[in-house]
């Protein structure tokens, strides 16, 4: 199964989509960092001017004139924010909190996908075993029907016994067809999650060593380590920083701007040039701007309350999931033991009923019922072993530890910090680190 989980970890679109989302979120940090950097632009103008007319002066000839010029200029202007009410630093911190939350969401997606992989693997394994039991049951019932017909021919049994054997065979064939359809559906799910067709699937044992030894320990671990909870905690941090960003609008704003310009044909005068340079400092002290900034602050405070309540709800949900998973896993252990005992007892019972039927102490119906009881017991054992494995992995997922290191998968764990380090201080460039 580890090989199947490796394939899912590398190729599952849900995991890869969330990885891309984390990389997308990483870019919020250099976006916020832009508030510290200057803004520089080049400016150029060019045009044509023409004027003509006449001027009348008393007792003088009429004076006509025509002028033409090509005014043009070029220059560079730059601006730098000196103080923005701590908005930039809080935006950076908020962006970093968003990145950490996205990473935890990725961890949770990996857990969910790996658990889906376990479920898909075990479903195919279980349904394949059930179909094999059904086929074996059909073969046994065919032989039972043949023997019953032979005994009917020599007068040892009645026509009723033959009809009972035929009815059991028909029912077994119907069950086989139904279980084959279930198997085909589980194979399709396996293909969707793992990304490959199931071939020879090896049996799997429940995972035991990484599981907590007690329920209180499992709950405590989940409340600290589960990625869904950690992601919500980072969301609370980001919401708190949003309040500080909104409050920054009430602080004074200070900036510096500089401009250098070279102009030609100034004032429509051909040949006239002018060079200018300036540097200005600007301080803006907000007094009243319509009240929108106060509404934004109040809104951010309510957003923080919403995020805190979501975090509390997530903690309760995770705790409930841990308790439920613990109960299912513990019950599965007992069910497997009971199912194995049931199979052993039904095997003995079927062997005895068959021997008694040979000497006329049991009817054909008794044999068929014993055969059906053994089939049901074996099917229950297959399902119980399936549930024990799935529930063990589900418990590990519920506490937040269903990951590559814990499972010991032979694959390099995806490291989201690599991309973050590549882009966090990037000032310029269109290409992503992977070349897009």
Instruction: Give me the average pLDDT of each 10-residue run along the chain (436 residues).
Output: 93 95 95 93 91 72 74 94 94 96 96 96 94 90 85 83 88 93 95 91 90 94 95 96 95 95 86 92 92 94 96 96 96 94 92 83 81 90 94 95 93 93 89 80
What is the Cα–Cα distance from 307 to 147, expressed in whole angstroms? 72
The pLDDT, as a whole number, for residue 61 is 67
Q: pLDDT tens for residues 299-327?
A: 999 999 999 999 999 999 999 999 999 99
The pLDDT, as a whole number, for residue 418 is 94
Say which residues have a Cβ less than 8 Å from residue 406's Cβ, sequence separation at least 6: 210, 396
Please state the pTM of the whole predicted model. 0.87
Tell me the sheet residues that pair with 277: 260
- 295, with CB counted inside 10 A (0-12, 13-18, 19+), is exposed
How crowded is residue 150: how many other Cβ atoms within 10 Å of its Cβ?
11
The pLDDT, as a whole number, for residue 89 is 95
What is the Cα–Cα distance from 431 to 411, expressed in whole angstroms? 28
The vertex-324 CA angle with 321 and 327, nearest 5°, equals 145
What is the Cα–Cα distance from 313 to 103, expressed in whole angstroms? 20
Pairing assessment for the beta strands 39-46 and 49-55 based on DSSP bridges: unpaired
CATH superfamily membership of 2-40+87-250+295-408: Outer membrane efflux proteins (OEP) (1.20.1600.10)
165 within 8 A of 172, measured Cβ to Cβ: no
CA-based nearest residue to 420, from 53, 142, 129, 29? 29
The pLDDT, as a whole number, for residue 62 is 67
Residue spans per domain, the chain = 2-40+87-250+295-408
The pLDDT, as a whole number, for residue 42 is 96
Residue bearing tokens 């950490």: 100
């Amino acid at each position: 199964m580890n090989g199947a989980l490796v394939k899912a970890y590398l190729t599952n679109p849900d995991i890869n989509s969330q990885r891309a989302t984390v990389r997308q979120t990483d870019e919020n940090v250099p976006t916020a960092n832009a508030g510290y950097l200057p803004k520089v632009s080049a400016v150029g103008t060019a045009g044509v001017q023409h004027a003509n007319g006449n001027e009348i002066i008393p007792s003088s000839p009429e004076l006509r004139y025509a002028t033409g010029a090509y005014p043009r200029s070029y220059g560079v202007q730059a601006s730098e924010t000196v103080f923005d009410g701590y908005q930039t630093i809080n935006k950076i911190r908020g962006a970093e909190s968003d990145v950490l939350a996205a990473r935890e969401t990725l961890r949770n997606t990996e857990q969910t996908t790996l658990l889906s992989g376990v479920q898909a693997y075990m479903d195919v394994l279980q349904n394949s075993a059930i179909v094999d039991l059904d086929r074996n049951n059909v073969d046994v019932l065919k032989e039972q029907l043949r023997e019953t017909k032979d005994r009917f021919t020599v007068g040892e049994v009645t026509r009723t016994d033959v009809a009972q054997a035929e009815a059991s065979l028909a029912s077994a064939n119907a069950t086989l067809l139904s279980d084959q359809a279930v198997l085909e559906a589980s194979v399709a799910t396996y293909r969707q999650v793992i990304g490959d067709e199931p071939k020879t699937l090896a049996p799997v044992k429940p995972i035991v060593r990484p599981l907590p030894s007690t329920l209180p320990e499992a709950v405590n671990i989940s409340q600290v380590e589960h990625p869904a909870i950690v992601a919500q905690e980072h969301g609370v941090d980001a919401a708190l920083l949003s309040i500080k960003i909104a409050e920054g609008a009430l602080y004074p704003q200070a900036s510096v701007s500089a401009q250098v310009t070279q102009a030609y044909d100034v004032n429509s005068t051909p040949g006239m040039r002018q060079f200018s340079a300036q540097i200005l400092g600007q301080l803006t002290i907000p007094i009243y701007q319509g009240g929108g900034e106060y509404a934004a602050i109040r809104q951010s405070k309510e957003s923080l309350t919403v995020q805190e309540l979501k975090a509390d709800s997530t903690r309760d949900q995770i705790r409930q999931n841990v308790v439920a998973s613990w109960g299912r896993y513990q019950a599965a252990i007992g069910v497997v033991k009971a199912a194995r005992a049931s199979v052993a007892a039904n095997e003995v019972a079927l062997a005895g009923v068959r021997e008694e039927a040979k000497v006329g102490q049991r009817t054909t119906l008794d044999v068929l019922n014993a055969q059906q009881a053994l089939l049901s017991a074996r099917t229950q054992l297959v399902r119980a072993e399936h549930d024990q494995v799935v529930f063990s992995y589900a418990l590990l997922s519920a506490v937040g530890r269903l990951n590559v290191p814990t499972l010991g998968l032979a694959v390099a764990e995806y490291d989201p910090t690599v991309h973050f380090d590549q882009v966090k201080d990037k000032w310029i460039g269109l290409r992503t680190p992977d070349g897009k």
